[in-house]
């Protein structure tokens, strides 16, 4: 592919396409060859759409030759998580439960927007069942494996999208995030992933998990790539009443403005000092703090308000909301659900109406407390997870400890923008830095991620398994 390869950023690929040093067909053929070589071992795809992807790539090349430029995504291969409806095939949510015609085989609004931007959609990527289950060998679906160590998990639930980017099977893709399902696989797989402010991106045409916790957003190689994708995805739709119209909303134009003069708080006590954090992850955080300070930010520790309460409010609330949607399906097809999926969703039946109201009160108290914190600092950082990717079948933490080692759920309770970028390795596996900002400050969050990545090369690292022609 001349001056670029499968691990180039979207900006680099777009520049090469415009310069004529590669073509969209060549990029797409390279990702198809990589999928042929790697996907049996990695479990990235539920469904591949090679033929339609090549057709879209050829169209992009013809349009570019005719002087039509749809923007930086024009002709770029992307993957789409299989809870998001696409016209090419069914949406299964990696489950035996949904009817084959769920979503009407129509493009979700986020998919429509990617197509309008000229993106090449390569297929449906693997997930955890209904975006809540665990890796399940008993079901006839791929087991997503981490490209950095195939004995380890990718994290969930945007598993295939995270693993596919790391392995170079596509340049970027879509995931969803209800308790961390974009940011966790981003951290475990050494890529970047952004959970946007709640309401910026429509969720219609997406299998729901928690109505007030769900977010749809990008995973990509870099924070800049995430900004390019988010700019395409943002905007209200009539069929999603949670979306908001914020007018012109652009993150990419300011993504390289740096962090000089910004005040960044480190939520160390709530995360690193709160237990469940690997010493190597803590050391990586210290190095990230130093890098941001060297870039001109003022960085110091802060107390994060209501951390445990917001963590619990996420899981209990999403379980209740998931049960509300799944109740008729559970009654009809209980045995078709995986055990862990049933376990999680069924817990929602134990959350009373009074409990649910209290959860919403906690969330509102958290939003008010965070407004006070964000009057003192511009951004807050912490590890994305306390530990790197777990090994399949290895004895480890009990369920509560495992959930407590995830530092993502409070920001689903709050609906705040949160980005995970690679910040190093622990025992050969990637770990992530999480950057959080006030509501609708997505551009600032992504700008900080890009500033960090300008001083580090963790996002440029490539797993050995991915080195195929």
Q: What is the set of active-site residues? A: 81, 157, 181
Contact call for residues 107 and 115 (beta carbons, < 8 A): yes
Q: Kindly give the interhelix angle for 307-333 and 353-373, rounded to the nearest 10 degrees.
A: 140
Nearest to 289 by CA among 73, 90, 111, 435: 435
Q: At 140, give phi and psi (nearest 5°).
A: -85, 55
Contact call for residues 247 and 236 (beta carbons, < 8 A): no
Contact call for residues 44 and 163 (beta carbons, < 8 A): yes
Write the DSSP symbol of residue 389: P
Write the DSSP symbol of residue 26: H
CA distance 399 to 122: 35
Strands 149-153 and 172-177: unpaired
Torsion angle of alpha carbons 142, 146, 147, 150, nearest 10°?
-80
Strands 120-125 and 77-81: parallel
What ranges make up the beta strands (E) of 33-168?
45-48, 77-81, 120-125, 145-146, 149-153
CA distance 126 to 201: 21
Write the DSSP symbol of residue 86: B
CA distance 358 to 265: 28
Q: Which two tokens stand for residue 213?
A: 């916790």
């Amino acid at each position: 592919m001349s001056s670029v390869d499968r691990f180039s950023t979207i900006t680099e690929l777009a520049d090469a396409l415009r310069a004529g040093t590669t073509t969209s067909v060549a990029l797409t053929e390279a990702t198809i060859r990589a999928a042929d070589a790697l996907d049996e071992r990695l479990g990235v795809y539920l469904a591949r759409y090679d033929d339609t992807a090549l057709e879209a790539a050829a169209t992009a090349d013809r349009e570019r030759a005719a002087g039509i430029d749809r923007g930086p995504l024009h002709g770029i291969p992307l993957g789409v998580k299989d809870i998001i409806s696409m016209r090419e095939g069914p949406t299964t949510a990696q489950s035996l439960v949904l009817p084959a015609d769920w979503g009407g085989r129509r493009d979700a609004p986020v998919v429509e927007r990617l197509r309008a931007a000229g993106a090449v959609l390569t297929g449906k990527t693997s997930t955890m069942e209904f975006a809540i289950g665990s890796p399940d060998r008993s079901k006839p679906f791929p087991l997503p494996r981490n490209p950095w160590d195939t004995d380890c998990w990718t994290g969930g639930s945007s598993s295939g999208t995270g693993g596919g980017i790391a392995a170079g099977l596509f340049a970027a893709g879509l995931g969803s995030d209800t308790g961390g399902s974009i940011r966790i696989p981003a951290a475990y797989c050494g890529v970047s992933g952004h959970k946007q402010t709640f309401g910026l991106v429509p969720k219609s045409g997406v299998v729901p998990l928690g109505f007030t916790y769900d977010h749809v957003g990008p995973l990509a190689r870099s924070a800049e790539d995430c900004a390019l994708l988010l700019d395409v995805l943002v905007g209200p739709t009539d069929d999603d009443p949670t979306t908001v119209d914020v007018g012109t909303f652009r993150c990419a134009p300011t993504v390289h403005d740096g962090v000089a003069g910004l005040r960044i708080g480190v939520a160390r006590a709530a995360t690193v000092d709160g237990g469940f954090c690997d010493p190597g992850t803590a050391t990586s955080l210290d190095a990230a703090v130093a890098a941001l300070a060297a870039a001109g930010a003022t960085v110091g520790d802060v107390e994060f308000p209501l951390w445990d309460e917001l963590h619990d409010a996420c899981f209990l609330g999403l379980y209740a909301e998931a049960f509300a949607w799944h109740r008729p399906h559970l009654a009809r097809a209980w045995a078709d659900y995986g055990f862990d999926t049933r376990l999680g969703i069924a817990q929602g039946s134990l959350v009373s109406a009074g409990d649910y109201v209290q959860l919403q009160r906690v969330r509102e108290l958290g939003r008010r407390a965070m407004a006070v914190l964000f009057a003192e600092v511009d951004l807050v950082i912490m590890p994305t997870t306390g530990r790197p990717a777990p090994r399949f079948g290895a004895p480890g933490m009990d369920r509560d400890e495992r959930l407590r080692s995830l530092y993502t759920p409070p920001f689903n309770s709050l609906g705040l923008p949160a980005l995970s970028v690679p910040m190093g390795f622990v025992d050969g596996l990637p770990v992530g830095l999480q950057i959080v900002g006030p509501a609708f400050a997505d551009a600032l969050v992504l700008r900080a991620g890009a500033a960090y990545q300008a001083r580090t090369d963790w996002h440029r690292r490539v797993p050995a398994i991915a080195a195929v022609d």
